[in-house]
Structure 1
Amino acid sequence: MKTTHVTLSSPSPVTLGTWPTPVEPLPRLAAALGLGQHDLLIKRDDLTGLGGGGNKVRKLEWTVGAAIADGADTLVTTGAPQSNHARLTAAAAARLGIRSVLVFPAAGGRSQSGNLVLDGLLGAHVVWSDAADRAALDAAAAAVCAHLSEQGARPALIPFGGSSAVGALGYVRCGEELSEQVPDLERAVVALGSGGTMAGLVASLGPDRVLGVDTGALDDPLPVVAAFVADLLPEPVRPEQLQMRSDQVGSGYGNLTEAVKSALTVAARTEGIILDPIYTGRAMAGLIAAVEDGSIRPGRTTVFVHTGGLPGLFGHQAAVAYGENSVISGL
Structure 2
Amino acid sequence: MNPTSLDLSMFPRYALLEGPTPIQHLSRLSTQLGGATIYVKRDDLNGLGGGGNKLRKLEFLMGEALARGADTIITVGARQSNHARLTAAAAARAGLQCELVLTRAVPRFDAEYLENGNILLDDLLAAHVHDLPAGTDALPFAEARADTLRSQGRNVYVCPLGGSSPVGCLGYAEGAAEIAAQSRASGIAFDHIVMPNGSGGMHAGFVAGMKALGLNPPSVTAFAVYAGAEKAHATTLDKANHTACLIDASLRVEAGDIVIDESQLGDGYGLPTDAMRAAVRLLASTEGLLIDPVYGGKAFAGLLENVRSGRYGAHENVLFVMTGGLPGLYAYRSAF
| Residue of structure 2 aligned with 1:207, choices 198, 217, 220 | 217
User: What does the per-residue CA deviation read over 1:266-293, in whole Å, with 9 as the maximum and x for residues that have no partner?
Assistant: 1001100101111000110010121133
Superposition RMSD on alpha carbons, in Å? Answer: 1.9
CA distance in 1, matches of 2:58, 2:42: 17
Give the paired residue count.
309
Provide closer, same or farther for how the CA distance between residues 124 and 241 of structure 1 changes in structure 2, counting only shifts above 3 A: same
The residue aligned with 1:165 is: 166
The answer to whether the 8 Å contact 2:173/2:205 transfers is yes
Secondary structure class of the residue paired with 2:223 = strand
Residue by residue over 1:11-37, the C-alpha shift from the partner in whole angstroms, topping out at 9 and shown as x without a partner, is 32110111200111101111222225x
Q: Among 280, 284, 289, which residue is 2:296 paired with? A: 280
Structure 1 partner of 2:142: 141
AA matched with 1:28: R
* Kept in 2: contact 1:64–1:158 (CA 8 A): no
Q: For residue 185 of structure 1, give the secondary structure of its aligned residue in structure 2.
A: coil
Match of 1:129 in 2: 132
SS of 2:260's equivalent?
Answer: strand
Please list, as runs of the form range in 1=range in 2, the aligned pairs for 1:7-18 lying within 5 A after superposition: 11-18=11-18
| In 2, Cα distance between equivalents of 1:89 and 1:144 | 17
Gaps of 5+ in 2: 1-7, 211-215, 245-249
Alignment match of 2:61 (pick from 46, 60, 63): 63
Cα distance in 2 for residues equivalent to 1:215 and 1:101: 25
CA contact (8 A) 1:202 1:209 kept: no
- Paired position in structure 1 for 2:267: 251
Structure 2: how far apart are the matches of 1:34 and 1:22? 24
Q: For residues 217-268 of structure 1, what are the alpha-carbon distances to aligned partners after superposition, in whole Å with 9 as ceiling and x for unaligned?
A: 5771111111122123333223343211110001111211011011011100
Local SS of the residue matching 1:232:
helix
Aligned amino acid, residue 181 of structure 2: E
Q: How far, CA to CA, are the matches of 1:312 and 1:150 in structure 2? A: 36
Q: Is 2:80–2:117's contact at 8 Å kept on the other side of the alignment?
A: yes
CA contact (8 A) 2:207 2:257 kept: no
Identify unmatched segments of 5+ residues in structure 1: 1-7, 324-331
Aligned counterpart for 1:222 among listed residues 233, 242, 263: 233
* Structure 2 residue identity aligned to 1:232: T
* Matched residue type, 1:105: T
CA contact (8 A) 1:131 1:140 kept: no
* 8 A Cα contact 1:191 1:212, kept in partner: yes
Residues 80 and 328, structure 2, Cα contact 8 Å, conserved in 1: yes
Q: TM-score, normalised by structure 1?
A: 0.88
Distance 1:153 1:172 in 2: 32
Question: Secondary structure in 2 aligned to 1:101?
Answer: strand
Residue identity matched to 2:221: L
| 1:73–1:168 distance in 2 versus 1, CA, 3 Å | same
> Structure 1 residue 26 and structure 2 residue 26: aligned?
yes
The separation in 1 between residues aligned to 2:86 and 2:69, in whole angstroms, is: 20
